[in-house]
Amino acid sequence: MMTSAKTAAPTISVDGVGRNFTVSGQTLVAIEKIDLDIQQNEFVSIVGTSGCGKSTLLNMIGGLDEPTSGEIRIEGKPVDGPGRDRGFVFQTYSLFEWMTVEKNIRFALEKSSFARAEKDELVAHFIQAVGLSGFEKAYPKQLSGGMKQRVAIARALVYKPSILLMDEPFGALDAQTRGMMQELLLKIWEDHKVTVVFITHDVDEAIFLADRVIVLASRPGRIKKDMRIELDRPRSYEVLTDPKFAAYKREVLTDIREETLKALSAGQG
Amino acid sequence: MSTAQSHKPGRKKSRSLFQLRQDIPDRVFFAAGFVIPVVLLLMWWLVTSLGLVKPLFLPGPLSVVGEGWRQLTEGILFEDASVSVYRIVVGWAVATVVAVPVGILMGNYRIVEGLFEPLISTARYMPVVALIPLSILWAGIGDGQKILILFLGTFFQQTLMIMDNVKNIDINLIRAGQTLGFTNNEILRRIILPAALPGIWDTFRITIGWTWTYLVVAELVAANSGLGRRIMDAQRYLSTDTILFGTLFIGLLGLLTDYLFKRAGKSLFKWSSQTR
C-alpha cells in the first residue's frame, strides 16, 4: 500500500490558483480557486467534465500558462515558465515527424548537461522501457497511435524530470491499446519513480492509475472531491473488476454526473 | 483499407468503380485521366477535318502540331521558352524570397500579422493587368517590368498561404519545444520551420503554377520575345494555329513544373504524414 502522508514539502503546490480568460470583452472564470498539494512520487489523476479547466490547470503547472491569481510552486519554487524538472505529454502525439524515433527522444536531451555517452545510454534505456526496441530508425508516420505516444512518453522522461504531466495522453487510442498503455505507464512509473499528474475524462483510467483522484467541478473550475485510491500495487487489469474499484467508480461517476447535469441546465453542455 | 472489397471476383469489379469514396486500381485511375483529353482531341479533329468550322476560328490539330514543329526547327520555340522561363523563375523566386520570411513571421507573431495582413489582403485583390502602366512607369520596358508583374501576381497570395501553412502546424509541437527548454528562436528554426515545410512546398507548387498563368500578362507590353509575346503577336496576324500552340505549350510547361514540384516534394518529405 502506498502512503503519501509525508511530512516533507510537497513536490507540487497549487496555492489559491485562479485563471480568468477574456473572451470578446467578457471575463470568463475558468478556474475559481484551487488549492492542491501533490507529494513526491504520487500519481494523481484529475477528472472532470469538458470545460472544467483541467487542461488549464495542467498547463499552468507545466508553465505553459499563467494563473490570474494565486501561485504554483515546484519544490517550493514558484513556477516561471516551463522547466526541465517537468516532462509533458500531450493528447496529440506532437512528435517531430522529420526525426526518427531515436532522434525525437534525443532532441529532448539537447539542453541537458549529460555527457555524450550518458545521453546515448538514456536514449537506449527509454526506447527499451517503452517497448520500442527495433523501431529506433522508424519515422513517426510509420508508427501506430500507441507507439507514437510511447515515443512521446520516452521523450518526456529521457531528461530525468521529477514530474510527468500528461494531458489526456491516451484519449485518441482505441480501448485495447489504451489498456496496454495504462499498464505500461504504471510499470514505467514504478521503475522510475516520478510524480505524475494525469488528466483524463475516463473514470476507469483515472482510478486504475492513480493514488489520488481529483474531481473538478466546472464553470468555474474548483475541486469537488479529492479521493484516495486504496488499491494494491502493482495493479493489473484484474483490479478493474474488484468491488472496491466499483465503489470508487460509483462515487466519481455520481460526482461527474451531477456536474454534467448542472452544466446542461445552465445551457453550457 | 478496403481489402474485402477488392478481392471479390469478376462481376462486382466493374460496379466497384462507382462506390462512394472507395479506392480504385491505380491503373484505372491513371487511364481515366486520358479519356476526356482524347475525346476532346477526336472531336476537334472531326470538326475541323469535316470542314464544320473555318481554320481561321479553329485550325485542325495537325496544323497546330505543324506550327509547333516549325517553331521548334526554326529555333524560335527554344528562344521564347528560355526567355519566359527565365522571367518566371526570377519573378517567382524574388516573390518567394520575400514571402517566406514575411509569411512565417505573420504566422507566428500576431503583431506582425496585424501589421501586414490588412495591406496584403487588400493588395491581393488588385488586378495585376491594371498595374501594367504603373509597372512600365516604374520599371521601364525591359525584363525588370515583366518580372515585377510576375512578382506582383504571386507575392501577396503566396505570403498569406505561407502564413496559413505555419499556423496549421500543431500548437503542441511548439509547446513540446518549450517544455524541452528551447528558446523561441530555436523553436522557430528547428520545430516550426521543418513542421511547416511540406505545406510551404505545396504552396510553392501552387504559386509557381500561377506565375505561368500570369506570363501572357507580363509579356503583354513592350516585349519582343517570350511565349506570351508570341501569342499576342499572332493575334495581330490572325494566325490562330500559333495562338493555340502557344497556349497549349504554356499549359504543358505549367503541368511539367507542377509535376516536378510534386515529385521533389514526395522525395524531400517522405516523413510527412500529409504527403499526398
pLDDT per residue as tens digits for the range A169-202: 999 899 999 999 999 999 999 999 899 999 999 9
Do B192 and B223 lie in a common domain?
A: yes
Domain ranges, residue B180: 61-268
Q: What secondary structure letter does DSSP report for A221? A: B
Predicted complex ipTM:
0.91
Residue carrying C-alpha cell 527499451 = A128
Judge whether residue B50 has pLDDT over 50. Answer: yes
Residue A151, all three cell numbers: 515515443
Residue A83, all three cell numbers: 522547466
Instruction: Measure CB to CB from residue B271 to each of A81, A141, A156 and give the nearest one.
Output: A141
| Residue B273 belongs to a domain | no
CB pairs under 8 A between A and B: 60
Chain B residues inside the 8 Å CB shell of A159: 180
Closest-approach residue (CA) in chain A for B271: A98
Helices (H) then strands (E): counts for chain A: 7, 10
Q: Dihedral angle at the C-alpha atoms of B232, B233, B235, B239, nearest 10 degrees?
A: -130
Cβ B273–A94 below 8 Å, yes or no?
no
Q: Report yes or no: A120 and A172 within 8 Å, Cβ to Cβ.
A: no
Judge whether B195 is closer than 8 Å to chain A, CB to CB: yes
- The pLDDT, as a whole number, for residue A220 is 85
Closest-approach residue (CA) in chain A for B177: A108
Q: Please state, in angstroms and as integers, the Cα–Cα distance from residue A118 to each residue in A106, A128, A151, following that order.
A: 11, 15, 19
How much is the pTM? 0.86
| Residue B275 belongs to a domain | no
**What's at A246, amino acid-wise?**
A
Exposed, middle or buried: residue B238 (CB in 10 Å: 0-12, 13-18, 19+)?
exposed
Do B148 and B256 lie in a common domain?
A: yes
Instruction: Report A:174-203 residues touching B (Cβ under 8 A).
Output: none
Distance CA A53, CA A31 (A): 6
Q: What would the pLDDT profile of A51-93 be if each residue is shown by its tens digit?
A: 788 999 999 999 999 999 999 999 999 999 999 999 999 999 8
Supply the CATH number for residue B127's domain.
Answer: 1.10.3720.10
Q: Report yes or no: B202 and B158 within 8 Å, Cβ to Cβ.
A: no
Do B9 and B89 lie in a common domain?
A: no
Judge whether A114 is closer than 8 Å to chain B, CB to CB: no
The residues near B138 (Cβ < 8 Å, ≥ 6 apart) are B148
CA B77 to mean position of chain CA atoms: 21
Closest-approach residue (CA) in chain A for B170: A94
Chain A nearest C-alpha distance from B175 (Å):
7
Domain boundaries, chain A: 8-81+200-269
Q: Report yes or no: A12 and A163 within 8 Å, Cβ to Cβ.
A: yes
Distance CA A31, CA B75 (A): 75
pLDDT category at A268 given cuts 50, 70, 90 is low
Closest-approach residue (CA) in chain A for B270: A98
Judge whether residue B229 has pLDDT over 50. Answer: yes
| Residue B254 belongs to a domain | yes
Cβ A139–B180 below 8 Å, yes or no?
no
CATH number belonging to the domain at A8-81+200-269, selected among 3.40.640.10, 3.30.450.20, 3.20.20.210, 3.40.50.300: 3.40.50.300
| Residue B54 belongs to a domain | no
Judge whether B26 is closer than 8 Å to chain A, CB to CB: no
Cβ A84–B180 below 8 Å, yes or no?
yes
Instruction: Measure CB to CB from residue A64 to each of B175, B270, B273 and give the nearest one.
Output: B175
Other C-beta atoms lying within 10 Å of the C-beta of residue A251: 16
Distance CA A25, CA A16 (A): 25
| Residue B22 belongs to a domain | yes
Q: What would the pLDDT profile of A8-45 be if each residue is shown by its tens digit?
A: 678 999 999 999 998 888 988 899 999 999 999 999 99
pLDDT category at B22 given cuts 50, 70, 90 is confident
Residue carrying C-alpha cell 516551463 = A82
pLDDT category at B164 given cuts 50, 70, 90 is very high
Residue A35, all three cell numbers: 488549492
Q: Please state, in angstroms and as integers, the Cα–Cα distance from residue A226 to each residue in A194, A215, A260, A262, following that order.
A: 20, 6, 18, 20
Do B86 and B8 lie in a common domain?
A: no
Other C-beta atoms lying within 10 Å of the C-beta of residue B140: 12
Closest-approach residue (CA) in chain A for B197: A98
Instruction: Measure CB to CB from residue A84 to each of B181, B272, B273 and give the nearest one.
Output: B181
Task: Tell me the sheet residues that pair with A167.
Answer: A199
- The pLDDT, as a whole number, for residue A267 is 67
